[in-house]
């Protein structure tokens, strides 16, 4: 039996496309600054606004999706994301950009919540770590495609048309999910794990927010995602500030984002082979702390090639963190019917960090004129991630 079926691929493709929408803004920030008169701080706010829905609603949507139906929620999310992106044809003011980035965030959030729970439901236990590794690559694949392809497409199309085409792809993937995803095809193991009675919405929320391992994982994931989004989101702008052509800057940033796939895929295989999650998390955070310093704080004396290599290592080794977090979040969920809610809480805390950290970083850079302040931010987040990882596994082994 093949590990990856058409059911899996339609779910994973939905995640990749959602990540393209999350990352598409960073590829056109210099153009939006001209067309819409965005300041650099406003650009940072626009970059993080896609996380606004997650900051407000992730836990609620995660708990609700289990009762409403994961497949229906996934299709609805793709429709919201698609129509919000197609509305880019009419964006002419900053307020409209903010509004539709927020509604895109609702679609992105719901896909991020439902997909892992769906994969858990349709996967055999022995294949779950592998598929979670594949799923966890969705941000790396999607954002890298966005920052690599959009600058090339801008040679022939304007950014509004590109966003409309991406919206149309969402509608196509929604049709694929409707046609090929059948959640009633559960394995015996998942059927046996399903409780006979269904908890209420508020009971699912309660057991999730009072479960210490999930709270720890939420902070750990936030420490990873907020610094990864900040670094990859502002790399093109930093390179353009160094008088590098936008297309070349996009290609360099895409290499950084694409390298994240090595970590996400590799972590799935390492977990499958028995590596300890604590080892993987510590390796990821220590590497991100050191390489972000070289990529941003050492710009005055380190040649460009080594700066780019440091950024690639930042994304590559850091990529082991999301796969590890998603895998053990499903393992530590307080109940089998709280899997989406557990992922929801992890994403909600992460979204709060992603909402505030990029604008804060942009403000620090604008106020001081020093890109090295981004390294200061990433170091603080990495240290916090290390501390929370140590606390999580001490508690679990106590």
DSSP annotation string for 207-262: HHHT-HHHHHHHHHHHHHHHHHHHHHHHHHHHHHHTT--HHHHHHHHHHHHHHHHH
Residue 11 lies in a domain: yes
Residue 187 lies in a domain: no
What span, in angstroms and rounded, lies between the C-alpha atoms of 84 and 106?
10
Per-residue confidence (pLDDT) for residue 343, from 0 to 100 = 81
Reported pTM? 0.73
Per-residue confidence (pLDDT) for residue 41, from 0 to 100 = 73
Per-residue confidence (pLDDT) for residue 383, from 0 to 100 = 95
Task: Measure CA 122 to chain center.
Answer: 22
What span, in angstroms and rounded, lies between the C-alpha atoms of 105 and 80?
9
- Counting as low any pLDDT under 50, the low residues of the chain are 1-2, 185-197
pLDDT in tens, 105-119: 889 888 888 888 787
Domain that holds residue 141: 6-181+200-397
212-241 vs 304-318: helix crossing angle, rounded to 10 = 160
Contact 177, 12 (CB under 8 A): no
Per-residue confidence (pLDDT) for residue 188, from 0 to 100 = 41
Residue 1 lies in a domain: no
Look up residue 22 and give its two tokens: 């999350």
What span, in angstroms and rounded, lies between the C-alpha atoms of 212 and 52?
24
What span, in angstroms and rounded, lies between the C-alpha atoms of 241 and 216?
38
Per-residue confidence (pLDDT) for residue 129, from 0 to 100 = 67
Residue 40 lies in a domain: yes
What span, in angstroms and rounded, lies between the C-alpha atoms of 98 and 155?
25
For residues 225, 19, 101, 321, the Cα torsion angle rounded to the nearest 10 degrees is: -10
* Residue in this structure with the two tokens 């393209």, named with its chain if needed: 20
What span, in angstroms and rounded, lies between the C-alpha atoms of 10 and 122?
12
Work out how many domains the chain is built from and give that number.
1
Contact 339, 120 (CB under 8 A): yes
What span, in angstroms and rounded, lies between the C-alpha atoms of 38 and 94?
7
**Radius of gyration of the chain, Cα coordinates, nearest whole angstrom:** 20
The CATH number of the domain where 142 resides is what?
A: 1.20.1250.20
Residue 66 lies in a domain: yes
Residue 253 lies in a domain: yes
pLDDT in tens, 40-49: 777 777 777 7
Residue 188 lies in a domain: no
Contacts (Cβ under 8 Å, ≥6 apart) of 119: 8, 11, 128, 131, 132, 135
Contacts (Cβ under 8 Å, ≥6 apart) of 98: 45, 46, 49
Residue 192 lies in a domain: no
CA nearest neighbour of 341 among 16, 102, 142, 68? 68
CA nearest neighbour of 47 among 210, 206, 192, 225? 225
Per-residue confidence (pLDDT) for residue 361, from 0 to 100 = 87
């Amino acid at each position: 039996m093949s590990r990856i079926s058409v059911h899996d691929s339609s779910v994973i493709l939905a995640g990749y496309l959602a990540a393209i929408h999350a990352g598409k803004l960073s590829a056109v920030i210099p153009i939006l600054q001209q067309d819409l008169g965005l300041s650099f701080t406003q650009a940072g706010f626009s970059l993080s606004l896609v996380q606004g829905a997650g900051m407000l609603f992730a836990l609620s949507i995660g708990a609700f999706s289990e009762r409403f139906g994961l497949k229906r929620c996934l299709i609805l999310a793709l429709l919201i994301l698609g129509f919000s992106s197609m509305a880019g044809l009419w964006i002419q003011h900053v307020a409209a950009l903010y509004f539709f980035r927020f509604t895109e965030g609702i679609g992105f959030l719901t896909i991020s919540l439902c997909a892992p729970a769906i994969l858990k439901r349709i996967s055999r236990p022995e294949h779950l770590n592998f598929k979670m590794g594949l799923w966890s690559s969705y941000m790396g694949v999607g954002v890298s495609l966005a920052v690599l392809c959009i600058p090339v497409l801008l040679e022939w199309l304007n950014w509004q048309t590109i966003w409309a085409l991406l919206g149309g792809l969402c509608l196509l993937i929604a049709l694929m999910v409707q046609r090929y995803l059948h959640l009633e095809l559960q394995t015996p193991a998942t059927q046996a794990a399903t409780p006979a009675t269904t908890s209420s919405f508020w009971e699912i929320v309660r057991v999730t927010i009072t479960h210490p391992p999930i709270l720890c994982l939420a902070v750990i994931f936030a420490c990873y995602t907020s610094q990864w989004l900040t670094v990859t989101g502002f790399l093109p702008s930093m390179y353009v500030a160094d008088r590098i052509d936008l297309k070349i800057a996009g290609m360099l940033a895409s290499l950084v984002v694409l390298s994240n796939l090595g970590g996400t895929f590799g972590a799935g295989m390492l977990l499958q082979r028995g590596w300890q999650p604590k080892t993987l998390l510590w390796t990821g955070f220590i590497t991100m702390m050191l390489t972000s310093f070289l990529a941003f704080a050492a710009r005055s004396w380190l040649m460009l090639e080594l700066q780019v290599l440091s950024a690639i290592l930042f994304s590559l080794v850091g990529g082991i963190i999301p796969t590890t977090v998603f895998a053990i979040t499903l393992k530590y969920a307080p109940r089998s019917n709280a899997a989406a809610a557990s992922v929801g809480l992890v994403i909600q805390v992460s979204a709060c960090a992603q909402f505030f950290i990029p604008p804060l970083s942009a403000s620090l850079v604008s106020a001081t004129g020093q890109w090295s302040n981004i390294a200061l931010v990433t170091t603080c987040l990495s240290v916090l991630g290390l501390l929370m990882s140590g606390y999580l596994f001490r508690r679990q082994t106590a």
